[in-house]
Structure 1
Amino acid sequence: MADQTLAQARGCVLGGTYRTFYSTPLIVESASGCIITDVNGNNYLDAYNNVPVLGHSAPQVRLAVEAQLGRANVHTRYVDKGIVDYAQRLVATFPDSLESVVFACSGSEANDLALRLAAHATGRDGVIVTRHAYHGTTAAVATVSPSLAGSATGDHVEGVELPAWDAPDFDELLAATIRDAAGHLAGRGHPFGAFILDSAVTSDGILEPRSLEQTVRTVHELGGFYIADEVQSGFGRTGANWGFERLDVVPDLVALGKPMGNGIPVSAVLGSHEIFDSFGAEQRYFNTFAGTAVPIAAAEVVLAELESGALTTRANEGGAVLKDCLVDAIARSSVPATVRQNGLMVGVDFELRPVTEPNAVSTAAAARRAQAMVELLYAERVLVSSTGSAGTILKIRPPLVITDDQLKELALAFGRALSRLEDLENSKSSAADSRDGE
């Protein structure tokens, strides 16, 4: 089937909620490591997909899954030693208060369950989220995911603006914002029960780690739970096992997903025995496919790499290499940008703050630059995306097995794309000047 025909067939048969990246969709033939190969034999460096944390088509994951498919894959109404062993190992990587785990199939399900647990434990339904947060697509978590609809969609939800990412008193400012937001929720008849935060603040623009001790202390003083959404920031991505560790805090609940099974659907919520036992005594929670042997077999392989220190080491070392290379490329360009690094999750922000700085551009212009860079890098056969409330930030989060050579290749492609962006902008500027002079 010709590429165009296949893309058209996809559009006809799949529901309208499906979207593709890039102006010309990437049609996949195969994928291995950090490389996706299209149907025409072109190789693309995947610097976007943080689901296959061990790389696409990881052979050790395939072998583990095949072995389990040949043994057993029954649901969790039965007892399976492998699942118990994995749960014990997973819990051992967390602080002592996070002593129990419940499995689900996706990050959305994990966050959904975490919110239910928090509401049950506190007796309060008010939720505070960041202004452009994304926590999933179930009915419950869609209401606390303003990035889906432009704003928080539930009356029980209050979206808050984060302080400037480099503010020295970031923690104190955020704590005060949480206190104000809790007041707004109470005024609407929804007492504050939970603050849920992506530990890398991915959808709001990727923030570098900082202490949130005061913020979480304030959450607890107000009677709420702090839920760490580790779906994107977990499993070594930030250079620590779990992103909240770099924030100097311990959550009441933690949600895991995406890289947990390296592409095999599995997720989890961790918390105390008390929280789970109290909830379980009054409400049933069962998920047919969650925590069965096959996805847990994949998850075991990822966890072994985390336990070895390989993932955190690669995130720290690779992240530093990438940031240095990107900063150098930007320094050689007339297009200003700021690089923020959280392990091997990097944001390149084209909107300078304050906007009075030399070469600063409007938010709309910065968003156009970010989107142009996504397409220009695609032309360079490097896959990235954009993020932030206005889409002004380039989002780079490759599988954690990416090599230094591949990171340098990425940075070289970034430099070429940035140069091409300069040429395009200069060409438009010259054309505009010519029209003005007519």
Structure 2
Amino acid sequence: MIDPTSSGPASHGVPQRSNADILRLRKQLLNPTLSVSYNEPLKIVRGEGVWLYDQHGQPYLDMVNNVCHVGHCHPRVVAAGQAQMARLNTNTRYLHDNIVEYALCLTATLPEPLSVVFLTNSGTEANDLALRLARAHTRARGVIVVDHAYHGHSPSMVELSPYKFNGKGGQGQASHVGVVAMPDVYRGPFREPSEAGRQYGAMLQPAIENLRQQDIATAAFYCESLLGCGGQIVLPEGYLAEAYAKLRAAGGVCLADEVQVGFGRVGEHFWAFERQGVVPDIVTMGKPMGNGHPMGAVVTTPEIAASFVNGMEYFNTFGGNPVSCAIALAVLDVIADEKLQENARRVGGFLLDGLRELQQRHDAIGDVRGCGLFIGVELVRDRAARTPDQPKARAVVEAMKARHVLLSTEGPDDNVLKIKPPIVFSQANAEEFLDKLDQGLRES
């Protein structure tokens, strides 16, 4: 039996410090821009499934950790990594079965012609590499992005992330970047569901023209298949079809950022872009593919991959190593064997229904949206005016933490409760969450 109060490292000589001592040392020794969650930070020492445990053995229901996609410390994933680490870990200049097996299994989940895989260590690396691919293929430099998007923390990705470049410390929009409005049918300019997708998608044309007037041709359109930092927004029907058509007519390629939402989270499909009935030219992925182990990937077409062959090798010391690929293979096996995509569909539907029932009883809930286990609850002060209520959202997060449920907020006004738990999340977990959210909304 594992001791739930044990974090493990103490057996290797790491002292078990108080929260205050850890905070003091973080401030003294670590990146000074690094934040912590909650007014009173938690010290988390163990995870299992949908649960995180503090140093006192107290469990917390994890509603936001889409990184540990198939559950914290899933035994099959852990065993796969342990076994391969005990046998071999090296780079891709040696032949090994794991990397080609993973490429075969991963591309089998994607539509043609997405069939060439580049493995990286993170979603940021994947999106950064994808930019190089797009520019090599199109010989253009401009990029269209969606407002409030976040695509990574490298210099090139900060330039493509309005969430960063228009935020605190940001340097504003670069000349080679075009920004289009979020396709938000709740608070955006277009709200009629049957028309909004086409209307928002058409907004790419003036962005492309604006770049062209500066003698900048458009290389790519970056878009998350569901908008995360934008506030858990589900793209309106037809949006990507319209946007992709505009972008391709201008000679660019279309990228689906699936870093947060891929691998069955949306329930009805394995990839969230499939909900829009489109096939992107490039797909990027990260976070969930290694269940917490650092992995990312770019999958593209043979034609685009061929454009990247210019004499300069792309080599990534750790990308695609045997241990990472063993772990990633185990994640795919667990999703299939435990029917977790279907679980995300079924439990996500139950959760959405429950949240919409709460909406009838709590005026603070202005909108409930999502698919599968990717859900947003937008809190407002005035339903008619749809006025965002950031203080209420923050108070609810703290009230839920006091009830041992971990949530956080997102969106341009930081008023959207983001819900994206590991996809092993059960109906019983959902019932517990809904009951506690009801209490938290009443008391916050």
Provide the rounded CA distance (Å) in 1 between the counterparts of 2:425 and 2:365. 27
The letter of the residue matching 2:354 is C
> 1:330 Cα shift?
2.6
- Cα contact 2:70–2:335 (8 A) shared by 1: no
Q: Which residue of 1 aligns with 2:47?
A: 31
Partner secondary structure for residue 350 of structure 1: strand
Q: Which residue of 2 aligns with 1:318?
A: 347
The letter of the residue matching 1:313 is E
Provide the rounded CA distance (Å) in 1 between the counterparts of 2:299 and 2:386. 43
> 1:341 Cα shift?
1.4
Q: Which residue of 1 aligns with 2:221?
A: 195
Partner secondary structure for residue 309 of structure 2: helix
Provide the rounded CA distance (Å) in 2 between the counterparts of 1:37 and 1:311. 23
1:254 aligns with 2:283: yes
The letter of the residue matching 1:215 is A
1:11 aligns with 2:31: no
1:74 equivalent among 90, 103, 112: 90
How many residues are paired up? 415
> 1:273 Cα shift?
1.6
> 1:371 Cα shift?
1.8
Q: Which residue of 2 aligns with 1:184?
A: 210
Provide the rounded CA distance (Å) in 2 between the counterparts of 1:61 and 1:41. 23
> 1:351 Cα shift?
3.8
Aligned positions of 1:57-68 closer than 5 A: 57-68=73-84
Provide the rounded CA distance (Å) in 1 between the counterparts of 2:411 and 2:29. 31
Alpha-carbon RMSD across the aligned residues, in angstroms, is: 1.6
Q: Which residue of 1 aligns with 2:414?
A: 391
2:400 equivalent among 377, 381, 388: 377
Deviations 1:322-374 (A, max 9, x none): 1111222232224232110121011001248xx7x54x4633xx122222222
Moved more, 203-212 or 303-312: 303-312
Deviations 1:189-233 (A, max 9, x none): 321111111111111122235232122111111111110001001
Q: Which residue of 2 aligns with 1:362?
A: 387
Aligned positions of 1:101-120 closer than 5 A: 101-120=117-136
1:172 equivalent among 183, 194, 198: 198
1:349 aligns with 2:378: yes
Q: Which residue of 2 aligns with 1:219?
A: 247
Provide the rounded CA distance (Å) in 1 between the counterparts of 2:386 and 2:195. 26
> 1:162 Cα shift?
2.2
Aligned positions of 1:197-346 closer than 5 A: 197-209=223-235, 210-211=237-238, 212-239=240-267, 240-308=269-337, 310-346=339-375
- Cα contact 2:366–2:386 (8 A) shared by 1: no
> 1:135 Cα shift?
0.5
For residues 307 and 96 of structure 1, do their structure 2 counterparts lie closer, same or farther at Cα, with a shift above 3 Å needed?
farther
Provide the rounded CA distance (Å) in 2 between the counterparts of 1:282 and 1:193. 21
The letter of the residue matching 2:199 is L
Q: Which residue of 2 aligns with 1:21?
A: 37
Provide the rounded CA distance (Å) in 1 between the counterparts of 2:336 and 2:61. 27
Q: Which residue of 2 aligns with 1:159?
A: 179
Provide the rounded CA distance (Å) in 1 between the counterparts of 2:358 and 2:58. 25
> 1:163 Cα shift?
3.6
- Cα contact 2:133–2:307 (8 A) shared by 1: no
Deviations 1:126-156 (A, max 9, x none): 1111110000101111111111232653221
Identity across aligned pairs (percent)? 36
Q: Which residue of 2 aligns with 1:54?
A: 70
- Cα contact 2:349–2:371 (8 A) shared by 1: no
The letter of the residue matching 1:154 is A
The letter of the residue matching 2:215 is G
Moved more, 402-411 or 169-178: 169-178
For residues 2 and 163 of structure 1, do their structure 2 counterparts lie closer, same or farther at Cα, with a shift above 3 Å needed?
closer
Which consecutive aligned stretches of 4+ in structure 1 deviate over 6 angstroms post-superposition? none
Provide the rounded CA distance (Å) in 2 between the counterparts of 1:369 and 1:184. 39
- Cα contact 2:365–2:377 (8 A) shared by 1: no
Give structure 1 stretches of 5+ with no counterpart. 422-438
> 1:86 Cα shift?
1.2
Provide the rounded CA distance (Å) in 2 between the counterparts of 1:43 and 1:221. 53
- Cα contact 1:261–1:299 (8 A) shared by 2: yes
> 1:307 Cα shift?
4.0
Partner secondary structure for residue 70 of structure 1: helix
Q: Which residue of 1 aligns with 2:425?
A: 402
Provide the rounded CA distance (Å) in 2 between the counterparts of 1:2 and 1:207. 39
Provide the rounded CA distance (Å) in 2 between the counterparts of 1:277 and 1:308. 35
- Cα contact 2:202–2:242 (8 A) shared by 1: no
- Cα contact 1:48–1:398 (8 A) shared by 2: yes
The letter of the residue matching 2:266 is T
